[in-house]
Amino acid sequence: MARKKKPRRSGSALWAAAVWAILALTLGIVGYACSHSEQNSQTASTTESRSASTVSPETPTPAPSSLTPEAAPTVVATPSPEAATTGPRLAIIIDDCGQWPATERAFIALPVPLTLSVLPDVRYNHAIEHEAAAAGKGVMLHLPMETLSGVNPGPGKVTTDMDDAAITAQVEHDLHDVDLAQGVNNHEGSKATADVRVMNAVISVLAKDGRFFIDSRTNARSVGERIAGEHGVRTAARDVFLDNRADVDYTAGQLRQVAALAEQNGSAIAIGHPRPTTLEALRIVIPEMQARGIKFVLASDLVR
Protein backbone atom coordinates (compact mmCIF):
# COMPACT_ATOMS: atom_id res chain seq x y z
CA MET A 1 0.00 0.00 0.00
CA ALA A 2 1.53 3.34 -0.96
CA ARG A 3 2.52 5.78 1.88
CA LYS A 4 1.03 9.21 1.92
CA LYS A 5 3.60 11.92 1.68
CA LYS A 6 3.64 14.56 4.49
CA PRO A 7 2.91 17.95 3.14
CA ARG A 8 6.01 20.16 3.10
CA ARG A 9 5.89 23.46 4.86
CA SER A 10 6.38 26.32 2.64
CA GLY A 11 9.38 28.60 3.12
CA SER A 12 7.13 31.45 4.16
CA ALA A 13 5.56 29.39 6.95
CA LEU A 14 8.99 28.48 8.36
CA TRP A 15 10.06 32.10 8.27
CA ALA A 16 6.94 33.22 10.11
CA ALA A 17 7.48 30.62 12.84
CA ALA A 18 11.06 31.75 13.32
CA VAL A 19 10.02 35.38 13.60
CA TRP A 20 7.40 34.52 16.23
CA ALA A 21 9.94 32.54 18.24
CA ILE A 22 12.45 35.39 18.18
CA LEU A 23 9.74 37.87 19.15
CA ALA A 24 8.61 35.74 22.09
CA LEU A 25 12.18 35.37 23.31
CA THR A 26 12.79 39.13 23.02
CA LEU A 27 9.63 39.97 24.97
CA GLY A 28 10.67 37.60 27.71
CA ILE A 29 14.11 39.20 28.03
CA VAL A 30 12.63 42.71 28.04
CA GLY A 31 10.09 41.77 30.68
CA TYR A 32 12.76 40.33 32.95
CA ALA A 33 14.96 43.38 32.48
CA CYS A 34 12.15 45.76 33.33
CA SER A 35 11.23 43.81 36.40
CA HIS A 36 14.84 43.72 37.57
CA SER A 37 15.30 47.42 36.83
CA GLU A 38 12.22 48.38 38.83
CA GLN A 39 13.45 46.29 41.75
CA ASN A 40 16.82 48.04 41.66
CA SER A 41 15.10 51.42 41.43
CA GLN A 42 13.02 50.68 44.51
CA THR A 43 16.13 49.59 46.40
CA ALA A 44 17.96 52.77 45.40
CA SER A 45 14.96 54.87 46.34
CA THR A 46 14.84 53.28 49.78
CA THR A 47 18.56 53.88 50.29
CA GLU A 48 18.25 57.52 49.21
CA SER A 49 15.29 58.02 51.51
CA ARG A 50 17.21 56.61 54.47
CA SER A 51 20.20 58.79 53.65
CA ALA A 52 18.01 61.89 53.41
CA SER A 53 16.35 61.16 56.75
CA THR A 54 19.75 60.93 58.43
CA VAL A 55 20.84 64.46 57.44
CA SER A 56 17.82 66.41 56.27
CA PRO A 57 18.39 69.71 54.46
CA GLU A 58 15.85 71.31 56.79
CA THR A 59 17.69 70.00 59.88
CA PRO A 60 21.32 71.15 59.95
CA THR A 61 23.87 68.63 61.11
CA PRO A 62 24.24 69.23 64.86
CA ALA A 63 27.54 70.53 66.16
CA PRO A 64 29.73 68.04 68.03
CA SER A 65 28.46 67.61 71.56
CA SER A 66 31.70 69.03 72.96
CA LEU A 67 30.73 72.43 71.52
CA THR A 68 27.13 72.54 72.71
CA PRO A 69 26.36 74.90 75.60
CA GLU A 70 25.54 72.04 77.96
CA ALA A 71 28.85 70.30 77.30
CA ALA A 72 31.04 73.37 76.92
CA PRO A 73 34.27 73.16 78.89
CA THR A 74 33.88 74.69 82.30
CA VAL A 75 36.18 75.55 85.14
CA VAL A 76 35.27 74.35 88.60
CA ALA A 77 34.60 77.62 90.34
CA THR A 78 36.04 78.15 93.81
CA PRO A 79 35.19 81.74 94.72
CA SER A 80 38.23 83.89 95.44
CA PRO A 81 38.35 86.37 98.35
CA GLU A 82 37.82 89.17 95.81
CA ALA A 83 34.72 87.49 94.40
CA ALA A 84 33.40 86.88 97.90
CA THR A 85 33.51 90.60 98.74
CA THR A 86 32.67 92.29 95.45
CA GLY A 87 31.21 89.47 93.38
CA PRO A 88 32.84 88.03 90.26
CA ARG A 89 33.51 90.72 87.67
CA LEU A 90 33.67 90.22 83.92
CA ALA A 91 34.92 92.65 81.27
CA ILE A 92 34.01 91.96 77.66
CA ILE A 93 35.99 93.71 74.93
CA ILE A 94 34.70 93.83 71.37
CA ASP A 95 37.66 94.23 69.00
CA ASP A 96 37.91 95.47 65.39
CA CYS A 97 35.28 98.18 65.81
CA GLY A 98 34.78 101.06 63.39
CA GLN A 99 34.02 98.89 60.36
CA TRP A 100 30.49 97.44 60.74
CA PRO A 101 28.42 100.20 62.37
CA ALA A 102 25.04 98.42 62.35
CA THR A 103 26.36 95.40 64.24
CA GLU A 104 28.54 97.53 66.51
CA ARG A 105 25.57 99.71 67.46
CA ALA A 106 23.72 96.57 68.49
CA PHE A 107 26.58 95.77 70.88
CA ILE A 108 26.43 99.34 72.21
CA ALA A 109 22.71 98.81 72.88
CA LEU A 110 23.29 95.75 75.08
CA PRO A 111 22.09 96.48 78.63
CA VAL A 112 25.44 95.77 80.33
CA PRO A 113 28.81 97.53 80.48
CA LEU A 114 31.26 96.45 77.81
CA THR A 115 34.20 97.99 75.98
CA LEU A 116 34.61 98.64 72.26
CA SER A 117 38.17 98.54 70.95
CA VAL A 118 38.27 100.75 67.87
CA LEU A 119 40.72 100.54 64.97
CA PRO A 120 42.54 103.65 63.72
CA ASP A 121 42.09 105.00 60.20
CA VAL A 122 38.90 103.06 59.38
CA ARG A 123 35.72 104.57 58.01
CA TYR A 124 33.37 104.58 61.01
CA ASN A 125 35.76 104.77 63.95
CA HIS A 126 34.89 108.33 65.00
CA ALA A 127 31.14 107.71 64.93
CA ILE A 128 31.39 104.45 66.85
CA GLU A 129 33.76 105.72 69.55
CA HIS A 130 31.53 108.72 70.26
CA GLU A 131 28.32 106.66 70.29
CA ALA A 132 29.92 104.09 72.60
CA ALA A 133 31.14 106.76 75.01
CA ALA A 134 27.76 108.49 74.99
CA ALA A 135 26.11 105.18 75.92
CA GLY A 136 28.45 104.66 78.86
CA LYS A 137 30.50 101.95 77.16
CA GLY A 138 34.28 101.83 77.34
CA VAL A 139 36.45 102.90 74.40
CA MET A 140 39.92 101.60 73.62
CA LEU A 141 42.36 101.89 70.74
CA HIS A 142 42.80 98.57 68.95
CA LEU A 143 46.44 99.12 67.98
CA PRO A 144 47.48 97.21 64.81
CA MET A 145 50.80 95.43 65.31
CA GLU A 146 53.02 93.19 63.22
CA THR A 147 52.20 89.48 62.92
CA LEU A 148 54.40 86.41 62.76
CA SER A 149 52.38 85.11 59.82
CA GLY A 150 52.99 88.17 57.66
CA VAL A 151 49.27 89.03 57.57
CA ASN A 152 48.84 92.80 57.24
CA PRO A 153 47.08 94.06 60.40
CA GLY A 154 45.87 97.15 58.56
CA PRO A 155 46.49 100.91 58.63
CA GLY A 156 48.18 102.48 61.62
CA LYS A 157 50.34 99.43 62.31
CA VAL A 158 53.46 99.21 64.45
CA THR A 159 56.20 96.97 63.05
CA THR A 160 59.50 95.64 64.33
CA ASP A 161 61.50 97.37 61.59
CA MET A 162 60.44 100.80 62.88
CA ASP A 163 62.87 102.66 65.11
CA ASP A 164 61.68 104.00 68.46
CA ALA A 165 60.87 107.43 67.09
CA ALA A 166 58.73 105.98 64.31
CA ILE A 167 56.88 103.75 66.77
CA THR A 168 56.21 106.70 69.06
CA ALA A 169 54.91 108.78 66.16
CA GLN A 170 52.65 105.95 64.96
CA VAL A 171 51.13 105.24 68.37
CA GLU A 172 50.54 108.97 68.96
CA HIS A 173 48.86 109.24 65.55
CA ASP A 174 46.60 106.26 66.29
CA LEU A 175 45.65 107.61 69.71
CA HIS A 176 44.80 110.95 68.15
CA ASP A 177 42.61 109.17 65.59
CA VAL A 178 40.70 107.29 68.32
CA ASP A 179 40.85 110.22 70.71
CA LEU A 180 38.33 108.95 73.27
CA ALA A 181 40.38 105.81 73.96
CA GLN A 182 41.18 105.37 77.65
CA GLY A 183 43.51 102.48 76.94
CA VAL A 184 44.98 100.22 74.28
CA ASN A 185 45.01 96.56 73.33
CA ASN A 186 46.90 95.02 70.45
CA HIS A 187 45.27 94.06 67.15
CA GLU A 188 47.12 90.98 65.85
CA GLY A 189 50.71 91.68 66.96
CA SER A 190 52.03 88.17 67.51
CA LYS A 191 55.48 89.33 66.40
CA ALA A 192 55.59 92.89 67.72
CA THR A 193 54.26 92.10 71.22
CA ALA A 194 57.07 89.57 71.75
CA ASP A 195 59.72 92.22 70.97
CA VAL A 196 60.97 93.93 74.14
CA ARG A 197 62.27 97.02 72.35
CA VAL A 198 59.05 97.56 70.41
CA MET A 199 56.87 97.14 73.47
CA ASN A 200 59.02 99.51 75.51
CA ALA A 201 58.48 102.16 72.83
CA VAL A 202 54.72 101.53 72.69
CA ILE A 203 54.23 101.48 76.44
CA SER A 204 56.30 104.65 76.89
CA VAL A 205 53.65 106.57 74.95
CA LEU A 206 50.87 105.14 77.12
CA ALA A 207 52.80 105.99 80.30
CA LYS A 208 53.12 109.59 79.16
CA ASP A 209 49.39 109.86 78.38
CA GLY A 210 48.15 107.92 81.43
CA ARG A 211 46.44 105.23 79.36
CA PHE A 212 46.25 101.53 80.29
CA PHE A 213 47.32 98.50 78.26
CA ILE A 214 45.51 95.17 77.91
CA ASP A 215 47.49 92.37 76.31
CA SER A 216 45.32 90.49 73.81
CA ARG A 217 47.76 87.58 74.13
CA THR A 218 47.92 86.68 70.47
CA ASN A 219 51.30 85.15 71.29
CA ALA A 220 52.08 83.20 74.45
CA ARG A 221 55.52 84.88 74.39
CA SER A 222 54.10 88.39 74.51
CA VAL A 223 55.93 90.73 76.89
CA GLY A 224 53.28 93.46 76.77
CA GLU A 225 51.78 92.98 80.21
CA ARG A 226 55.20 92.66 81.85
CA ILE A 227 56.62 95.77 80.14
CA ALA A 228 53.53 97.77 81.03
CA GLY A 229 53.96 96.84 84.68
CA GLU A 230 57.61 97.87 84.59
CA HIS A 231 56.58 101.31 83.30
CA GLY A 232 53.89 101.74 85.93
CA VAL A 233 51.15 101.52 83.30
CA ARG A 234 47.92 99.92 84.51
CA THR A 235 47.61 96.59 82.78
CA ALA A 236 45.81 93.25 82.45
CA ALA A 237 45.54 90.45 79.90
CA ARG A 238 42.89 88.60 78.01
CA ASP A 239 41.68 85.32 79.55
CA VAL A 240 39.38 83.90 76.83
CA PHE A 241 38.72 84.53 73.15
CA LEU A 242 34.98 84.20 72.58
CA ASP A 243 34.60 83.66 68.87
CA ASN A 244 37.45 81.95 67.09
CA ARG A 245 34.51 80.28 65.37
CA ALA A 246 31.49 82.24 64.14
CA ASP A 247 29.06 79.93 65.91
CA VAL A 248 26.45 80.88 68.52
CA ASP A 249 26.73 77.68 70.57
CA TYR A 250 30.53 77.81 70.56
CA THR A 251 30.58 81.43 71.69
CA ALA A 252 27.96 80.76 74.37
CA GLY A 253 30.19 77.98 75.67
CA GLN A 254 33.19 80.32 75.76
CA LEU A 255 31.12 82.87 77.68
CA ARG A 256 30.18 80.24 80.26
CA GLN A 257 33.83 79.30 80.56
CA VAL A 258 34.98 82.87 81.20
CA ALA A 259 32.15 83.30 83.73
CA ALA A 260 33.51 80.31 85.63
CA LEU A 261 36.99 81.88 85.54
CA ALA A 262 35.57 85.11 86.96
CA GLU A 263 33.93 83.14 89.76
CA GLN A 264 37.17 81.32 90.47
CA ASN A 265 39.58 84.25 90.23
CA GLY A 266 37.36 87.19 91.12
CA SER A 267 37.55 88.71 87.65
CA ALA A 268 38.16 87.81 84.01
CA ILE A 269 38.52 89.45 80.61
CA ALA A 270 37.02 88.10 77.40
CA ILE A 271 37.63 89.37 73.87
CA GLY A 272 35.15 88.97 71.02
CA HIS A 273 34.44 90.59 67.68
CA PRO A 274 31.48 92.44 66.11
CA ARG A 275 29.89 89.33 64.65
CA PRO A 276 26.14 88.62 64.63
CA THR A 277 26.83 85.20 66.19
CA THR A 278 28.72 86.80 69.08
CA LEU A 279 25.92 89.31 69.59
CA GLU A 280 23.31 86.54 69.69
CA ALA A 281 25.37 84.47 72.14
CA LEU A 282 25.67 87.46 74.46
CA ARG A 283 21.92 88.07 74.34
CA ILE A 284 21.37 84.44 75.34
CA VAL A 285 23.99 84.18 78.09
CA ILE A 286 23.88 87.63 79.74
CA PRO A 287 20.71 86.81 81.77
CA GLU A 288 22.27 83.50 82.88
CA MET A 289 25.43 85.29 84.03
CA GLN A 290 23.47 87.92 85.91
CA ALA A 291 21.49 85.18 87.64
CA ARG A 292 24.81 83.66 88.74
CA GLY A 293 25.87 86.97 90.26
CA ILE A 294 28.37 87.91 87.54
CA LYS A 295 28.91 91.67 87.45
CA PHE A 296 29.71 93.17 84.04
CA VAL A 297 32.32 95.93 84.15
CA LEU A 298 34.41 98.00 81.75
CA ALA A 299 37.89 96.86 80.80
CA SER A 300 39.26 99.92 82.62
CA ASP A 301 37.85 98.52 85.88
CA LEU A 302 40.08 95.44 85.73
CA VAL A 303 43.49 96.97 85.03
CA ARG A 304 45.95 97.38 87.90
Return the pLDDT at 86: 76
Mean pLDDT, rounded, for 102-116: 98
DSSP β-bridge partners for residue 272? 94
Answer whether residue 3 shows pLDDT above 90: no
**Which pLDDT band, with edges at 50, 70 and 90, does 22 fall under?**
low
Region 26-38: what's the mean pLDDT?
Answer: 42
Answer whether residue 169 shows pLDDT above 90: yes
Which has more confidence, 66 or 126?
126
% pLDDT > 70, the chain: 72
Instruction: Sort 18 into a burial class: Cβ within 10 Å, 0-12 / 13-18 / 19+.
Output: exposed
As a whole number of Å, the end-to-end CA separation of the chain is: 139
Q: What is the pLDDT of residue 298?
A: 98
Q: Which residue has the higher pLDDT, 81 or 170?
A: 170
pLDDT at 4: 45
Cα separation, 97 vs 114, in Å, equals 13
Overall CATH class of domain 80-301: alpha beta
pLDDT tops 70 at residue 16: no
Across residues 189-212, what is the average pLDDT?
98
Question: What phi and psi, each to the nearest 5 degrees, are found at residue 139?
Answer: -130, 130
pTM of the model: 0.74
Measured at the CA of 283, the angle between CA 278 and CA 284, to 5 degrees, comes to 100
* Model pLDDT for residues 266-281, shown as the tens digit of each residue: 999 999 999 999 999 9
Q: Given this model, what pLDDT does residue 20 score?
A: 53
Is residue 149 predicted with pLDDT exceeding 60?
yes
The residue-averaged pLDDT of 136-143 equals 98
